[in-house]
Amino acid sequence: MPGADKEADLTERIEAFLADLKRGGCGTGPIRGSGETARETTALLRKVTAQARWSSAGDLMEIIRKEGRRMTAAQPSETTVGNMVLRVLKIIREEYARSRGSSEETDQQESLHKLLTSGGLSDENFRQHYVHLKANVIEAINELLTELEGTTDNIAMQALEHIHSNEVIMTVGRSRTVEAFLKDAARKRKFHVIVAECAPFCQGHEMATNLSKASIETTVIADAAIFAVMSRVNKVIIGTQTVLANGGLRAVNGTHTVALAARHHSTPLIVCAPMFKLSPQFPNEEDTFHKFVSPHEVLPFTEGEILSKVNVHCPVFDYVPPELITLFISNIGGNAPSYIYRLMSELYHPEDHDL
């Protein structure tokens, strides 16, 4: 029966995605970049919306939440999955509100104003059925997908405003967004890039190779030399894995060092992060914040006698507090870290923050 086939196909795709997520979290960087993960998640959610059986917005939100919980449980450090689920939930809420005809301001964030003027406790249970809701939601998800596809280009387009000729720019490790950003600026300006290699995974080497292929003068330095070289750097431009709700970052190991060195020399720190990396989490959950991978990169297993006497850790991420960051460049423009709360309220609904 075609229906059963489609359902089986959908479940198969979800299972394959989950397996990929579980496998993909090794230290050498995920098998896919976060942009691809975001697109894949959104495409899957669109399929779920199209194929699953639901009659009201409430049912659909329950289904999406369930799938979302499974996906985030597979790889908690890959926050883009959770972020996309939250975006889709917000889309559903908006489309429902639009179908009901109520203005979009109602049922948005809690505010003092709402406390004072609403005529009763919110009994919005999304139970009503609307004929065009499915089509509207799928259309909105398609718009989201288009936005996701254009993020790197949107960020790269802003490069010329921030990078000037004969500047020395420092970056850490490898970020596809920063790479595109620098390559775009290199078309019209001549500047020098210093890449910190970011041990033990040494993704900086790959970044340096890619940049030099685009005829940008690149230098690779060891992480220990970051502070020493910082006095000659004009700007630091980095990517990140996640942007947290307080404006802080969860970025690759070594970023905090760069941020502190930049603060000491009063060098501006610019973070290139697309909107889908914005997560409503705060850096309080220590158990889920960090991810540790096999320490054989730090101390290989061949060093047998030492291993029994020494504890070796290999964390993947670093926390960078918001005070050290100067500017966030995202696909919607440049923003200060203190403005992140506003962007968060526009992207996600507070009731969805804990899936």
- Whose Cβ is closer to another protein: residue 12's or residue 346's? 346
Query: Closest approach of Cβ 152 to another protein, in Å?
Result: 28
Integer Cα distance of 256 and 212 in angstroms: 26
Q: Which of 56/246 has CB closer to another protein? A: 246
Strands (E), the chain: 168-172, 192-196, 217-221, 235-238, 242-243, 249-252, 269-272, 317-320, 327-330, 333-335
Q: Is 341 in the site for another protein (CB under 8 A)?
A: yes
Could you say whether residue 143 binds another protein (CB under 8 A)? no
The residue among 185 and 249 lying less far from another protein, judged by its C-beta, is: 249
Count of beta carbons in the 10 Å neighbourhood of residue 236: 27
Question: Cβ(349)–Cβ(293) under 8 Å?
Answer: no
With CB under 8 A, what is the number of residues at the site for another protein? 26
Identify any residues that bridge with 318 across adjacent strands, giving them in sequence order: 251
Q: Identify the DSSP state of 266.
A: T
Rounded CA-CA distance 4/262 in Å is: 57
Rounded-to-integer distance, Cα 338 and Cα 112, Å? 21
- Within 257-296, the residues that bind another protein by CB under 8 A are 282, 284-286
> With contact defined as beta carbons under 8 Å apart, do 193 and 186 qualify?
no
Instruction: Tell the smallest beta-carbon distance from residue 87 to another protein (Å).
Output: 18
The minimum distance between CB 324 and another protein, in angstroms, equals 12
Give, as ranges, the residues between 301 and 330 that touch another protein (CB under 8 A): 322
Give the single-character DSSP code of 328: E
d(CA 326, CA 227): 18
121-140: contacts with another protein (CB under 8 A): 121
Q: How far is the CB of 302 from another protein (least distance, A)?
A: 37
Binding mask of the shown chain, residues 30 to 69, with x at each position contacting another protein by CB under 8 A: ----------------------------------------
Task: Give CA–CA dist 83/35, Å, rounded.
Answer: 12
In the list 15, 312, 339, 346, the residue contacting another protein (rule: CB under 8 A) is: 339
Q: How far is the CB of 46 from another protein (least distance, A)?
A: 29
* 112 touches another protein (CB under 8 A): yes
Which of residues 116 and 131 has its CB atom nearest to another protein in the complex? 116
Could you list the residues that contact another protein (CB under 8 A)?
109-113, 115-121, 245-247, 282, 284-286, 322, 338-342, 350
